[in-house]
Amino acid sequence: MSRSVLFLLYCFFFASSFFLMINALTCRQDQIQALMQFKNEFESDGCNSSDYLNGVQCDNATGAVTKLQLPSGCFTGTLKPNSSLFGLHQLRYLNLSHNNFTSSSLPSEFSNLSRLEVLSLASNGFTGQVPSEFSNLVLLTHLNISHNELTGSFPLVKSLSKLSFLDFSYNHFSGPIPSDLLPSLPFLSYLDLKKNRLTGSIDVPNASSSSSLVHLSLGYNQFEGKILEPISKLTNLKYLELSSLNVSYPIDLRVFSPLKSLLVLDLRENRLLPASLSSESDIPLSLKSLFLVRCDIIEFPNILKILQNMELIDISNNLIKGKIPEWLWKLPRLSLVNLVNNSFTGFEGSSEVLVNSSLRIMDFAYNSMTGEFPVPPLNSVYLSAWNNSFTGNIPLSVCNRSSLIVLDLSYNNFTGPIPQCLSNLKIVNLRKNSLEGSIPDEFFSNASIQTLDD
C-alpha cells in the first residue's frame, strides 16, 4: 500500500474520531464542520483528537459552540481574517494562548464574536496594533493579550465596562495610560501592564476607595512622572508590582502606608529612600511578601522587624554587609528568605539561631559568611549556601531534617567526612570543599538520592 493511501486513511480515521467525539457534545453539524475547518488551517501534528475534545463545549439546547480552548503549542500557522473561527458567533469563551500563529496580526474579525466574555490570546507571537474593533466586544470580562509583539498606543478598552481582568503585559505598547481607564472600568480587579514602553502616570478617580482593583502590575515601563501618589489612593490593592519604574527620585516606602490590605509589594530594581527602611517607618503591616531585589540597599532593612505577617522576603543582589540580625528568624510566619549575592559575614546569635524558625526555603548563596554552619530549621525543604567561606564539619543535624530535599553547600571550606545520612536527600551538592575520605556506600545503594555533585 502506498504512503499516500496510508496518509489518506489516517486522515479519514482521525477526522472520523474527531467528528464522533464532537458529536457526542451535542454540537450542530455546521459547528462541527467549522471546528474541523479551523483545525485544518494550521499544522497540528503534535496533538491528538482527545486534546481538542477537552477544550470544546457546545450549548445543549442550540448545539452551538460556546467554548473553545486550544491545547498549548498545538497550532502553528497564520491566523487569517477569513478563518472559520470567526464564524462561531455563539462563542462566549475563547482561549488560543500558547500557540504559534506566525506572522499574524490580530484580525479585526475578532469583533464578529460579539458574545465573547473571555478572550485569551497570550503567548502567540501576534504582531502589529490591536484593531479598534476590539472595543466592540462589550461583554468581555476577561481580556489577555500578554506576551506578544504588539505595538502602538494603549488599546481602546474604555467601552469594555464589564472587564474585571486585563493583561497587556510583555508587549511594546507606548505612550500614556488613558486618563479615563480606571473610571471607565468600574469592575476591574486585575490590571497587568508590565514590560511595555508606557510613559506618564496613571490617573485614579477621587472615589478610589470604591475601586475594585486588587492586583496592579506596572513594572519595566518608562514612567517618569510621580506615579506613586495616585497608586497610594487604591486602598483595596492586595498585590502591587512596580519593578524598575525609572523614576528620577528614590521611593519612600511610606507612600504605601494607606494600602492597609496590601499583601505583596514588589519594588525590585528601584532606588529606595534609606530612611524609609527603618523600623519606625509606617508601611502596611498586612504585607506577606516583599521583594527588594537590586535596590542598592547597604544596610539590613530593619523595617522587616515590624512585619509580623511576613512569609516571603527577597533582598537578594544588594550591597548589605555585616551579620544577619537574630530577630529575623523570630518572625512567626516566615517561610522563604532569599539573601543571595550580598556581603553578609554570618549570623547574629548562637549556632542554633535558626532551629526554631518557621523557615522552609533559605538561600544564603554568594555571600562572605565564615565560621561553622548553623543548625538548620526543623522544617527545612531547600537550603542553599554555596559560594561562602563556611568551615568545620557539615553539621549532622541536617540528617534529622526529614523534610529536607535540596542541600547545596558547594564552594565553601568544609572539612571532615561526608555524612552518610545525606544519602536520604534528593539533591546534594558538596563540590569544591576540603572534605575527606570516600563517598559512603549509601549514596550508591540508596534509592532516595537523585543528584550528587561532589
Q: How far is residue 304's CA from residue 124's CA, in Å, rounded to a whole number?
A: 41
| Confidence at 95, pLDDT banded by 50, 70, 90 | very high
Residue 453 has pLDDT above 70, yes or no: no
- Residue 361 counted as domain residue: yes
Task: Please give the pLDDT value at position 78.
Answer: 93
Q: Where are the alpha helices (DSSP H) in 24-118?
A: 29-40, 49-54
Q: With respect to residue 107, please indicate whether it lies within any of the assigned structural domains.
A: no
Contact 409, 429 (CB under 8 A): yes
Confidence of residue 440 (pLDDT cuts 50, 70, 90): low
Query: What average pLDDT does range 156-177 have in this prediction?
Result: 97
d(CA 98, CA 238): 28
pTM above 0.75, yes or no: yes
* HSE-CB of 392 using CA atoms within 13 angstroms: 12
Residue 261, phi-psi category: left (phi > 0), alpha (psi -120 to 50), beta (remainder): alpha
What is the Cα–Cα distance from 380 to 359, expressed in whole angstroms?
6
Instruction: Specify if 255 maps to a domain.
Output: no
Looking at every residue in the chain, the average pLDDT score rounds to: 89
Distance CA 218, CA 266 (A): 10
**Position 242 pLDDT exceeds 60:** yes
The pLDDT, as a whole number, for residue 240 is: 98
Q: What sign for the dihedral angle of Cα 441, 442, 445, 450?
A: negative
For residue 249, being part of any structural domain is answered with no
Instruction: Please report whether residue 433 resides in a domain.
Output: yes
- The average pLDDT across 277-288 equals 89
End-to-end CA distance of the chain: 57
| Residue 35 pLDDT greater than 60, yes or no | yes
Q: What is the pLDDT of residues 97-118, one digit of tens each?
A: 999 998 789 999 999 999 999 9
What are the tens digits of pLDDT across the range 303-343? 999 999 999 999 999 999 999 999 999 999 999 999 999 99
- Asked if 447 contacts 423 with a C-beta cutoff of 8 angstroms, the reply is no
Proportion of the chain above pLDDT 70, given as a percent: 89
What is the spatial distance between Cα 305 and Cα 293, in angstroms, rounded to a whole number?
18
73 or 166, higher pLDDT: 166
Q: Any idea which of 51-60, 139-148, 258-267, 288-297 has the lowest mean pLDDT?
A: 51-60
Full domain range(s) for residue 447: 336-454
Does 435 map to a domain?
Answer: yes
Q: Give me the CATH number covering residue 394.
A: 3.80.10.10
pLDDT above 80: residue 49: no
Q: Which residues, other chains included, contact 2 with Cβ-Cβ below 8 Å and sequence gap of 6+?
A: none
Look at strands 361-363 and 382-384 and give their pairing.
parallel
The answer to whether 269 and 275 have CB atoms below 8 angstroms apart is no
Q: What is the pLDDT of residue 448?
A: 58
Q: Give residue 143's pLDDT band: very low, low, confident or very high (50, 70, 90).
A: very high
Whether the per-residue pLDDT at 73 is higher than 90: the answer is: no
Q: Tell me, yes or no, whether 254 lies in a domain.
A: no
**Would you state the pLDDT for residue 4?**
46
Residue range 147-159, pLDDT digits in tens: 999 999 999 999 9
* Strand locations in 351-421 (E): 361-363, 370-372, 382-384, 389-392, 406-408, 413-417
Q: Is the pLDDT of residue 23 over 50?
A: no
Q: Are the C-beta atoms of 237 and 259 separated by less than 8 Å?
A: yes
In whole angstroms, give the CA distance from residue 406 to residue 383: 6
User: Nine-digit cell at 316?
Assistant: 537578594
Query: Residue 251 has what DSSP assignment?
Result: B
Confidence of residue 407 (pLDDT cuts 50, 70, 90): very high
Q: Which phi and psi angles does 105 have, rounded to 5°?
A: -90, 170
Classify residue 319: in a domain, yes or no: no
Beta-carbon contacts of 403 under 8 Å, excluding residues fewer than 6 positions away, are: 360, 379, 380, 381
What is the tens place of the pLDDT at every residue in 50-64? Answer: 777 788 999 999 999
CA-to-CA distance for 174 and 129, rounded, in angstroms? Answer: 11
- pLDDT higher at 188 or 446: 188
| Phi, psi (rounded to 5 degrees) for 244 | 45, 60
Tell me how many domains the chain contains: 1
